[in-house]
Structure 1
Amino acid sequence: MFTVVLSNVNLLIIRQKYTIIQIENNYHKADSGFNRVATWYDKLASLVFGNVLKTAQTTFIPKIPQDAVIVVLGGGSGWLLSVLLDECLPRKVIYIDASFRMISLAQQRVENDPRVEFRVGNEQDVRLDDRADVVITPFILDLFTQSRLETAILPKLNNALKVGGLWLSTDFMNPNFLWQRLLLRAMYRFFRLTAGIEARRLANWYELLNKDFTRLDEASYWNGFIKAGLWKKP
């Protein structure tokens, strides 16, 4: 129970604390250990990749229509959410991440923008009645096994996406060069140790999306190691 305070500032602080507590209580639904790396994940990504990860993720943002309902799975600390709110003028963003610390960072970054519904969880927290115009999966599909992508994650998101809706996905591709193989191997080992990710190797997420959706455009970065794609639900 919280002590009642009259100050608007204190009330705001209490609401924010309450939100975080609710998030923590619901964390049993999540299957990510990214809580442990949330505060320094973006800095590490920038140190290793520079701006290329952000560049790739924003490649097809201009293709998103205004007033859209957008579902973001695995959005992280919220920098991408800020871009979506500023540039796409969405009606609603459903922002799902398995890390309550990532959700907390995103809430702070966008100052709890009323257009955003935050959910701590995974694909099981995507609802059929979300009726999304756009689905975004930014560097999240590489965390899971091929089987889970095929049987759970992609079908769940597909069911929530309207016919004619857009799917933006950005992630790593199977390496073409030795340095890429070494880096990918190191990343999997590192995040299995620090965040307890499920996958041991990269699933063929790109071909899975190509199988069920119409690819409209794509862009490659870092000698093909990173791919951004834009698909449409037929």
Structure 2
Amino acid sequence: MSSKPGFDRIAKRYRLLEYLTMGRMLEQTRLHFLPRLLTARNALILGDGDGRFLAQLLAENSNLHVTAVDCSATMLNLLRQRCTPYGDRLHTVLTDALSFTPPAGTGYDLVVTHFFFDCFTEPEIDELLRRIGPELEPSALWLVSDFRIPAGLMRLPAKILVRALYLAFRVITGLCITRLPDHTSCLSTRFRCLERKLFLSGVLTTELWQGADLFLEAQAQKE
């Protein structure tokens, strides 16, 4: 990130603030595709925050091993505490995602980025894909959840909400990003979107992507 935000300042209050502002909508968005992840074996989780999603994923997929990367030591501590029953299948890395280089031969078959891309610019997302892309399996799934600006009547309310959230995070954490990146255009150069589900009248999205080569091969076989 062009300027590293201080998420330690918000970590212990993150769940409360989330529930006060968005209720259970973010949680519902994160968990929507969970049943589709139960065959994964080696996952990379980027910025899962306090680990609520990861704890549920590890509980439901007993064969999964996870590397969780976060730039906040406090968030990682909360994540480890929440995932204590599954600690033998969890490896945590304290660094920002753009500095993380997966070990050669890692072979991740799942990447998860919940409300993560909104902290980056499009060039930074491209850089992230270049860094971890070589260590993904051809059939790897990428689960994304984030805010979006829908068309129609919800466009203006969504813009106001997103702008207010960016302002709040700028004040609290020092986050310098001020607009949502187009993560779809970044991912679509290497992946194909298998399915998308919208929540809150299109203000929230969760998407399941897969490596482009495998997707195109499957489409060709159907034809």
TM bin, normalised by shorter chain, reads: 0.7 to 0.9
Q: Is the 8 A contact 1:98 1:121 kept in 2?
A: yes
Aligned-residue Cα RMSD (Å) equals: 1.7
The answer to whether residue 33 in structure 2 is matched with residue 55 in structure 1 is no
> d(CA) in 1 for partners of 2:38 and 2:103?
21
Contact kept? 1:67, 1:89, Cα under 8 Å: no
Partner SS for 2:202? coil
Whichever of the two has the greater Rg, that structure is 1
SS in 1 for 2:129: helix
The question of 1:186 aligning with 2:164 is answered yes
In 2, Cα distance between equivalents of 1:114 and 1:126: 22
**Residue by residue, what CA displacement relative to the aligned partner does 1:69-114 show, whole Å, maximum 9, x if unpaired?**
0100001001111111111224311011110000001111122611
| Shift, 1:67, TM fit | 5.4
User: For each residue in 1:177-204, what CA deviation from the matched residue of structure 2 results, as whole angstroms up to 9, or x when unmatched?
Assistant: 2211111101111111211223111100
Check the 8 A contact 2:40/2:109 in 1, yes or no.
no
Residue 96 of structure 2, aligned match among 122, 128, 142: 122
Match of 1:134 in 2: 110
Structure 2: distance between partners of 1:138 and 1:157: 17
* Separation (CA, whole Å) in 2 of partners of 1:140 and 1:90: 25
From the superposition, tell whether residues 184 and 34 of structure 1 become closer, same or farther in structure 2 (CA, over 3 Å).
Answer: same
CA distance in 1, matches of 2:103, 2:193: 23
Q: C-alpha displacement at 1:120, in angstroms? A: 0.8
Q: Aligned partner of 2:112: which letter? A: I
- Corresponding residue pairs, total: 204
| TM-score, structure 1 normalization | 0.82
Task: Identify which range, 207-216 or 102-111, moves more after superposition.
Answer: 207-216
Which contiguous aligned blocks of 4+ residues in structure 1 show a shift greater than 4 angstroms?
A: none
The amino acid across from 2:24 in the alignment is N
- Aligned letter for 1:105? L
Q: With the length of structure 2 as denominator, give the TM-score of the two structures.
A: 0.86
| Paired residues of 1:144 and 1:197 also in contact (CA < 8 A) | no
Segments of structure 1 that go 5 or more residues without pairing to the other structure are 1-29
Q: Distance in 1 between matches of 2:132 and 2:38?
A: 19
